Amino acid sequence: MGTFATDIAAIRKRAREKLEMGAVTQNYGGDVKTAIALLNEAVATEIVCVLRYKYHAVAATGIASESVKEEFAQHAKEEEQHLDWLSERINQLGGKPNLNPDGVASRAASQYAEGENLVDMIRENLVAERIAIEHYRDLIRYFGDKDPTTRTLLERVLAQEEEHANDMHDLLVAHEGRPMLKK
């Protein structure tokens, strides 16, 4: 057996104290305020991503745009799911998700770009996904083992952003008609 030892009596005592903290216990490894602020930046990023994909799902025109529109719409739904997961987590940590439309764009890492044509739209989405991927990777490193639940959630989101980026990359290749460098 290892040396893992825990004082159950002390844990039971602490569990009865500070009930207003909900899921946040005394051994929460991070700083709750910072965690909430970081997650709210991700919330803003996801809002921008939902709106951008929704706009593209409606505005895309041209030959062969139907399947692309469907892909945009599907991504919009998944970005909304990310928004919901992040908001739930902020709530669990005792914070408020910042869904105030004022200042969303400036709080977000990703950008709202309409794009002039189908290829532009696809490219803007690929750029946005790459921004999201880099941002989530940094957040995952930050949360590390300070807050495994938040880290695991962010890992789940990151995996989907990577799928999104790959989808956009493949669409760009298909619609630009020239292969991009892929190792």
Angle between helices 32-59 and 148-176 (to 10 degrees): 20
Instruction: Report the nearest approach of Fe ion to the CB of residue 81 (Å).
Output: 8
| Residue number with CB closer to Fe ion (32 or 105) | 105
- Neighbouring residues of 39: CB distance < 8 A, sequence distance ≥ 6: 86, 89, 90, 93, 95, 97, 150
**Tokens 């005792």 -> residue:** 94
| Residue number with CB closer to Fe ion (17 or 70) | 70
Binding mask 35-74 for Fe ion (x = CB under 5 A): -----------x----------------------------
User: Is residue 31 within 8 Å of 39, Cβ to Cβ?
Assistant: no
| Residue number with CB closer to Fe ion (124 or 161) | 161
Instruction: Report the nearest approach of Fe ion to the CB of residue 122 (Å).
Output: 13
User: Is residue 78 within 8 Å of 85, Cβ to Cβ?
Assistant: no
Binding site residues, Fe ion, CB under 5 A: 46, 79, 82, 129, 161, 164
